[in-house]
Amino acid sequence: MKMRAAVLEQFGAPLSVQEVELAKPRAGEVLVRLAACGVCHTDLYTASGADPSGYAPTVLGHEGAGVVERVGPDVTLLAPGDHVVTLFSPQCGECVHCLDPRTNLCLAIREQQNQGFLPDGSTRISRDGEPIRHFMGCSTFAEYTVMPEIALAKVSPEAPFEHACLFACGLSTGLGAAINTAAVQPGATCVVFGAGMVGLGAVAGCRLQGAERIACVDLSPERLELARGQGATDLLLAGANTLEEILEMTGGFGADFTFEATGNVAVMRQAVEAARMGWGLCTVAGVAGKGETLDVVPRFLITGRRIAGSSFGGVKGREGVPVLIERYLAGEIDLAPFVSHRIGLEEVNRGFELMEAKDGIRSVIEFA
């Protein structure tokens, strides 16, 4: 079938929205009609050419929500009409990691996905017979996509698509960092560095876990106000004295739980040092630049602090995303402030511009 899609032709150039060919789903695959898709830094990172593992041509986009249009042979998990959220982090349910509660890093299709192929090593997207690669296994800057059934979460049809798509990436990452990775305890003191989608999700996750005090640190007063809306009790404008302010706020000890959601390794170090002696846990969610390292004075660890990393918030996608969406539907999370702009697919490059200008948290592409 023919569809419109935003193709990355060349690194550093705007995406080109055009007609491409999409083949029908093969065994274990599903055709999804996209209804909404968030525009994320990771799309821009690849489009810019900064990502060393990037490739082109490819259809970008990985924060999709939509409806199953048809299923390929042997599909058992989904049926036409199901509402789904795309998962760049799949859940096969069978690999050694899927069977272990300690991790969500499914091993099933990583290698092919990282190279831009579906699990059988080919692409469904093409143009004039030339293959176009898939991005993060999703390629959701398009009217339709074909994805493995293990990379789609079936979610409540009651969730509006423009909110459901937020759970495909940063929001679940932040919520999950607090709920799964850190497992914040009721009454705890928490500090979240960064108030983008991930950091705001972490603030909300700390609140849902019953934290008593939630400080949020950011460079932007507007974003700190959004953090207040998600449950932050203390707002700190990032500066030279941030660490001192946190220590002062916590009787000189530091916080029970700290979260890093900026991608800046200097902030990661602050997040380690802001964790409490004895049992403070620092959870790193930000993605650092290639080759950057985290500098930690070992004494901070010997005196009882721990560091954990979190990918997609430790959420096993097919099971976990529907649960988070139920909590949202129950009124536990307010997502309206996250959707700052609604744009059409043709305006995808404007979504990138808005992001670079730090205008709002998410631009969401709506498909007619």
Ligand X SMILES: NC(=O)c1ccc[n+]([C@@H]2O[C@H](COP(=O)([O-])OP(=O)(O)OC[C@H]3O[C@@H](n4cnc5c(N)ncnc54)[C@H](O)[C@@H]3O)[C@@H](O)[C@H]2O)c1
By CB under 6 A, residue 220 contacts ligand X: yes
Site for Zn ion in 25-64 (CB under 5 A): 40, 42
Q: Nearer to ligand X by C-beta: 198 or 232?
A: 198
Question: Is beta strand 58-59 parallel, antiparallel or unpaired with respect to 16-22?
Answer: unpaired
Size of the site for Zn ion (CB under 5 A): 8
Size of the site for ligand X (CB under 6 A): 28
Catalytic residue among 37, 98, 190, 206: 98
Check if 106 is active-site: yes
Catalytic residue among 41, 213, 228, 350: 41
d(CA 207, CA 93): 30
Check if 110 is active-site: yes
| Tokens (6 digits) for 240 | 């030279």
Options 148-156, 196-204, 206-214, 292-300: segment touching ligand X (CB under 6 A):
196-204
Q: Nearer to ligand X by C-beta: 41 or 70?
A: 41
d(CA 179, CA 207): 10
Check if 133 is active-site: no
d(CA 94, CA 55): 29
By CB under 6 A, residue 64 contacts ligand X: no
Give Cα 361 to chain centroid, integer Å: 13
By CB under 5 A, residue 77 contacts Zn ion: no
d(CA 53, CA 173): 22
Q: Nearer to ligand X by C-beta: 242 or 250?
A: 242
By CB under 5 A, residue 364 contacts Zn ion: no
Where are the alpha helices (H) located in the chain, listed in sequence order? Answer: 41-48, 110-114, 161-164, 170-176, 197-208, 221-230, 242-249, 265-273, 298-302, 317-329, 348-356
d(CA 191, CA 255): 7
Choose the contact partner of 286 out of ligand X, Zn ion, none; CB within 5 to 8 A by kind.
ligand X
The residue among 250, 193, 253 whose CA lies nearest residue 218 is: 193
Site for ligand X in 124-183 (CB under 6 A): 169-170, 173
d(CA 270, CA 239): 11
Please, is 140 exposed, middle or buried when counting C-beta atoms within 10 Å of its C-beta (0-12, 13-18, 19+)?
buried
Q: Nearer to ligand X by C-beta: 124 or 223?
A: 223
By CB under 5 A, residue 105 contacts Zn ion: no
Catalytic residue among 4, 33, 69, 95: 95
By CB under 6 A, residue 335 contacts ligand X: no
- Are 155 and 322 within 8 A, CB to CB? yes
Q: Nearer to ligand X by C-beta: 119 or 170?
A: 170
Options 51-59, 106-114, 245-253, 308-316: segment touching ligand X (CB under 6 A):
308-316
Candidate residues 31, 71, 98, 153; the one interacting with Zn ion per rule CB under 5 A: 98
* Shortest distance in whole angstroms from residue 12 CB to ligand X: 19
Catalytic residue among 37, 138, 165, 169: 169
Site for ligand X in 67-96 (CB under 6 A): none
Q: Nearer to ligand X by C-beta: 145 or 172?
A: 172
d(CA 103, CA 97): 6
d(CA 153, CA 315): 11
Candidate residues 92, 118, 147, 202; the one interacting with Zn ion per rule CB under 5 A: 92
By CB under 6 A, residue 196 contacts ligand X: yes
Where are the alpha helices (H) located in 212-302, listed in sequence order? Answer: 221-230, 242-249, 265-273, 298-302
Give Cα 347 to chain centroid, integer Å: 22
Under 8 Å CB-to-CB from 314, ≥6 apart: which residues? 103, 104, 176, 177, 180, 181
Check if 37 is active-site: no
By CB under 6 A, residue 194 contacts ligand X: yes
Site for Zn ion in 108-147 (CB under 5 A): 108
Under 8 Å CB-to-CB from 283, ≥6 apart: which residues? 177, 178, 181, 182, 202, 257, 258, 259, 260, 307, 308, 309, 310
Residues that bind ligand X (CB under 6 A): 41, 169-170, 173, 193-199, 217-220, 223, 238, 261-264, 267, 285-287, 310-312
List active site positions: 40-42, 62-63, 92, 95, 98, 106, 110, 169, 362
Residues that bind Zn ion (CB under 5 A): 40, 42, 92, 95, 98, 106, 108, 169
